[in-house]
Amino acid sequence: MNELAITVIGRDRPGIVADVAEVLARLGANLTDSTMTRLRGHFAMTLICVGPAAPEVEAALAPLAADGQLLATVRAVTPDGETAPAGEPYVMAVHGADRMGIVAAMTRVLAAAGGNVTDLSTRLAGSLYVVVAEVDLPPGAAEGLAGRLADAAAGLGVEVTLRPAEPDLL
Amino acid sequence: MTGQADGSDLDPQAETYAGLGDWTPEALGDGRVLPVVSAPNPVLSRAGTEVDPTARETVQLAADLIATMRVSPGCVGLAAPQVGVGAQVFAVNITGHPKAVTVHGTFVLCNARVVEATRWKAGREGCMSVPDLTGDVKRASRLVVEGVLPGSGKSVRLVTDGFEARALQHEIDHCGGLLFLDRVAGAHAIYQRKVYL
């Protein structure tokens, strides 16, 4: 069996998830991890599944994109080998006036500290731009990082906070 | 629930009142409705300065916050930075809110700080200064706050819980230059505010 990475992006309408899942089920492709959201009203779905060869899945999804409103791509991916050791989970929140390069500059500071962004969302609301990133940091990397993030934020004219993530374990 | 008397260290010379005592917002006089500023206005990201709670301008600001809060639908709290004033003053009134447990009515506190915070719970928050977004924020649901009443200048210690505790923490954050956006729980804890037709 093949591990496949599938993306479906386009104009939102009722039934896209059902249509995609139906095609995959018919092919015997087992949907493992998936995420779907709407980004400024556009439908956006990414999923990993295990099933037949990529060309067969892509051909089966092609009718969904026939009207030009959706784009579906299928790529074979190599199954994950070793899982990287988990770091210390932190949440970085950034907000301020929208301008070019906020995500690039702030995530570069995280990357330079060895941080691995595990989840990210951005929102533009009027002139307010908000970035929230969940990041795993190597042990001890958080020390001094808040100061470097503050320096980068000051250069962009935005605000930043870095806090330990607090998972609720029940 | 009302507050409990204690030996507040806010001002050792001042008598500390449990709850609001006989303070009423009417004693502040008439307030003006002020425009509310929105993020990314920099005044929202600067810590407010401490104020003299008995100064005429502080009393006027307190009255203005209440007047502005009262004409703003759904508003349960308003801090000075939200009307463009970098000062540690805020108004709160959660009376009638469906999530209210303990309610102290309409009040204003100056130079307030949290002295005890326990029983942390996540909840959804909005803000007049971030009109298009809401977010999930973890806040203490049992809270003790000390501050000073405008006008009388009396130090008070408020013991509260539930939604009033959340509102107080949100407003004290404003006075410290923080928005709820600075405390959201994670990457998927911010939401576009729904517009209902």
* Chain B residues 58-117 with CB within 8 Å of chain A: none
Min Cα–Cα distance to chain B from A158, Å: 8
Min Cα–Cα distance to chain A from B137, Å: 11
B97 annotated as ligand-binding: no
Question: Number of A:B CB contacts under 8 A?
Answer: 66
Best to test chain A binding among B43, B130, B182 (most A CBs inside 10 Å): B182
Chain A positions touching chain B (beta carbons under 8 Å): 91, 93, 95-97, 119-121, 123, 125-130, 132-134, 158-159, 161, 163, 165-166, 168
- Checking if the pLDDT of B9 tops 50, the result is no
CB contact under 8 A, B133 and A125: yes
pLDDT of residue B21: 87
In angstroms and rounded to an integer, the radius of gyration of the C-alpha atoms of chain A is: 19
CB contact under 8 A, B181 and A130: yes
CATH superfamily of domain region A88-164: ACT domain (3.30.70.260)
Domains A2-76 and A88-164 share a fold: yes
Residues across chain A: 170
Fold of the domain built from segment(s) A2-76: Alpha-Beta Plaits (3.30.70)
Every domain of chain A and the residues it spans: 2-76, 88-164
Min Cα–Cα distance to chain A from B109, Å: 26
pLDDT of residue B12: 44
Every domain of chain B and the residues it spans: 19-192
Fold of the domain built from segment(s) B19-192: Peptide Deformylase (3.90.45)
Is residue B197 very low, low, confident or very high in pLDDT (cuts 50, 70, 90)? low
pLDDT of residue A81: 64
Q: Is B171 a catalytic residue?
A: yes
pLDDT of residue A66: 93
Tokens standing for B137? 């924020």
Which chain B residue shows the shortest CA-CA distance from A39?
B192
Residues whose CB falls within 8 Å of the CB of residue B138, separated by 6 or more in sequence, listed in order = A166, B120, B121, B122, B123, B183, B185
Residues whose CB falls within 8 Å of the CB of residue A32, separated by 6 or more in sequence, listed in order = A47, A48, A49, A50
Collect the ranges in chain A with pLDDT lower than 50: none
Name the helix (H) or strand (E) containing B169.
helix B162-175
Q: In this predicted model, what pLDDT tens digit does every residue of B126-175 receive, in sequence order?
A: 999 999 999 999 999 999 999 999 999 999 999 999 999 999 999 999 99
- Checking if the pLDDT of B115 tops 60, the result is yes
pLDDT of residue B6: 42
Q: Does ipTM come in above 0.90?
A: no
The span from the CA of A73 to the CA of B44, in Å, is 44
Q: In this predicted model, what pLDDT tens digit does every residue of B26-76 receive, in sequence order?
A: 999 999 999 999 999 999 999 999 999 999 999 999 999 999 999 999 999
